[in-house]
Amino acid sequence: MKRITFMLALVMMLTAGFAQKKDRTSAYNYHRNGKLDRAVEYIEKTITHESTMNEAKTWFYRGSIYLDIALTDKPEYKALSDNPLQVAYDSYQKALTMPDAKEFMPDIMTNMNVIAEKYFNKGVENYNGKDFAAASMCFLKAADVKAEIGVVDTSAMLNAVQAADIAGKPEESIKINNRLLEAKVNNPAIYASLAAAYLAIKDTANAVTTTATGRSLFPQDLGLLISETNIFLAQGKTAEALNNLKMALEKDPSNTSILFALGAQYDNLGQVEEAEKSYKKALEFKPDYFDAIYNLGALYVNHAARLMTEANAIPMDKIKEYDAKKAEADAALEKALPYLEQAHQMDPSDRNTMVTLKEIYARKSMLDKVKEMDAKLK
């Protein structure tokens, strides 16, 4: 009786194993005929059964089915999986761990390339759609898939870094940049990006070290020169920053960002004429540069305030001197007004502009304009 029971159990096990292999064949046939829903139904039965779960064929079939789900345009098949590319990738990885993987290796390598390309294209779509965080993830995934088959995809990683930088993800940027350096990629942009990322997380020591290394390797690179300038600015080293900005401007005389930064430094040093020249030069190249327009207006307002402070310090019996100094202050306000009004037109919601305009209107006794700014500020 025991022998009969044992034989029945053995028959049942063999039958179950045969059934799972039959399901795998069904999955293959449904896949070949383009019926992805039925292919998924049958292949999923095979990945947990001991007779099929340890065979490369099972995982290869599954990867190929889910890859086609990722590539299909049919909504009913797209709905079969939330992340078919990842399932396909995981399945192929699993197949490669199996003893019989050699038979499927060429097809897996080819399909891994397809997955990487698909992730890269998704990265481009997300980047163009301004979803930079998602773009960085997709580009990095493309690089990861390529790495699985022994290929270092520097293009995907560089795109991933750029997207991470724009997305404001310095920690991700640091990881990817270091990965590029480990891969011996020789590009000055890596050092500039890495230094900026360290600076963003307040790791000034690593930012300084990274920039110094980059500058030693690429002494003429503008990006690294600007990176070093940003570190000087963060450290309050105004003279060094100003010197670097001058060198940067020699390399790129029409760079409005450099001109603006140069103007801001002169402004901080109280060098009104030099700041004015830099801001105006930036506006020659970019007439709608809001920050330069606003800062130029603010420069004149601050200069007017300093002149009025000087005027108020003049003894009361020196009326001519007082009137002359006040006239200078009034002239500075007149110069400020058109720039600040232009800034207000460009961005009507900017409160700093409105507050400054209200102050000028009050000093010029333009009460209607004061009321207008008051209403907008409320």
Residue 6 pLDDT > 80:
no
Indicate the pLDDT class of residue 72, thresholds 50, 70 and 90: very high
3-state secondary structure the chain: CHHHHHHHHHHHHHHHHHHHHHHHHHHHHHHHCCCHHHHHHHHCCCCCCCCCCCCHHHHHHHHHHHHHHHHCCCHHHHCCCCCHHHHHHHHHHHHHCCCCHHHHHHHHHHHHHHHHHHHHHHHHHHHHCCCHHHHHHHHHHHHHHHHHCCCCCHHHHHHHHHHHHHHCCHHHHHHHHHHHHHCCCCCHHHHHHHHHHHHHCCCHHHHHHHHHHHHHHCCCCHHHHHHHHHHHHHCCCHHHHHHHHHHHHHHCCCCHHHHHHHHHHHHHCCCHHHHHHHHHHHHHHCCCCHHHHHHHHHHHHHHHHHHHHHHHCCCCCCHHHHHHHHHHHHHHHHHHHHHHHHHHHHCCCCHHHHHHHHHHHHHCCCHHHHHHHHHHHC
Question: What are the pLDDT digits (tens) for 231-279?
Answer: 998 888 888 999 999 999 998 999 999 999 999 999 988 899 999 999 9
Common-topology check for domains 19-99 and 253-378: yes
CA distance 111 to 202: 42
Determine the pLDDT at residue 47.
Answer: 85
Which whole number is the average pLDDT over 67-75?
A: 93
pLDDT value of position 20 = 63
Percent of the chain with pLDDT over 70: 95
Once rounded to an integer, what is the mean pLDDT over residues 313-323? 89
Q: What is the pLDDT of residue 12?
A: 46
pLDDT above 60 for 7: no
Alpha carbons 304 and 335: distance in angstroms, whole number: 10
What share of the chain has pLDDT > 90, as a percent?
A: 66
Q: What is the pLDDT of residue 233?
A: 87
* CA 102/CA 90 separation, integer angstroms: 17
Contacts of residue 211, defined as CB under 8 A and 6 or more positions apart, other chains included, come to 191, 192, 195, 224, 227, 228, 231
pLDDT tens, position by position, 120-146: 999 999 999 999 999 999 999 999 999
Q: What is the pTM of this model?
A: 0.74
Distance between CA 58 and CA 359 in Å, rounded?
75
Is the pLDDT assigned to residue 298 strictly greater than 80? yes
| Least confident residue range of 111-125, 149-163, 228-242, 286-300 | 228-242
Q: Can you give the pLDDT at residue 2? A: 46
d(CA 16, CA 61): 20
Q: Which of the four pLDDT bands, split at 50, 70 and 90, describes residue 348?
A: very high
Distance, in Å, from the CA atom of 207 to the CA atom of 346, rounded to the nearest integer, reads 36
Tell me the pLDDT band of 21, cut-offs 50, 70 and 90.
Answer: confident
Does the pLDDT of residue 29 top 50, yes or no? yes
42 pLDDT exceeds 90? no
Structure tokens at 378: 């409320």
Judged against a pLDDT cut of 70, whether residue 19 lies above it is answered with: no
Q: Which fold has domain 19-99?
A: 1.25.40
74 falls in which pLDDT band (50, 70, 90)?
Answer: very high
pLDDT at 109 over 90: yes
Q: What is the pLDDT of residue 49?
A: 81
Question: Residue 259 corresponds to which amino acid?
Answer: L
Rounded-to-integer distance, Cα 282 and Cα 144, Å: 42
Q: What are phi and psi of 301, to 5 degrees?
A: -65, -45
Q: Where are the domains of the chain?
A: 19-99, 253-378
Q: How far apart are CA 277 and CA 254, in angstroms?
A: 13
CA torsion, points 154, 158, 164, 169, in degrees to nearest 10? 70
**pLDDT recorded at residue 10:** 42
CATH number of 253-378: 1.25.40.10
CA nearest neighbour of 94 among 137, 30, 35, 148: 148
